[in-house]
Amino acid sequence: MGRRVLVVDDDRGIVDTLQTILTMAGYDCATSDNGNDALQLAGHFDPHLVISDVMMPGMSGVELALKLRNSHPRMRIILLSGHANTQDLLTQAGESLGTVLVLPKPYPPRELLKLVAELTDTAHSAA
């Protein structure tokens, strides 16, 4: 089975772009436009990596990451943010969040693919 990536963002344009980039690079990619659906999807898609927006209505990407940490402690997580108050959310989450990478939006696709490859390789070999 290939390396699986779940993309979560309330901006459909970003979701579609990331899905295209990841699929063309050979990843199995699932998408969601909100945290609640992403949690359910993660349960049966079992991604090696989740790439999520931080600021979303309903459940923030930080809240999603915290919930995923509880249910899938070894899952790799990247949070993408274009907002200045992201650091406040991360500080509130504290150590419960574990190791989560936070990248600025927009992030160069080539660099993102390099990072995705590194994270999915380590997650896949740990499974």
* pLDDT of the residue at 73: 85
* pLDDT of the residue at 16: 97
Average pLDDT of every residue of the chain: 85
Closest C-alpha among 57, 44, 49 to residue 9: 57
CB 54 within 8 A of CB 77: no
Percent of the chain with pLDDT over 90: 57
- pLDDT tens-digit readout, 25-68: 999 999 999 999 999 999 999 999 999 998 899 999 989 999 99
* pLDDT of the residue at 102: 74
Hey, what are 32's tokens?
């969601």
pLDDT at position 92 over 60: no
43-70 b/e with 16+ CB inside 10 Å = b? eebebbbbbbbbbbeebbbbbbbbbbbe
Report pTM.
0.85
- pLDDT tens-digit readout, 64-87: 999 998 888 889 999 988 765 555
* pLDDT of the residue at 81: 82
* pLDDT of the residue at 87: 56
Question: All domains of the chain, ordered by start, with CATH?
Answer: 4-126 (3.40.50.2300)
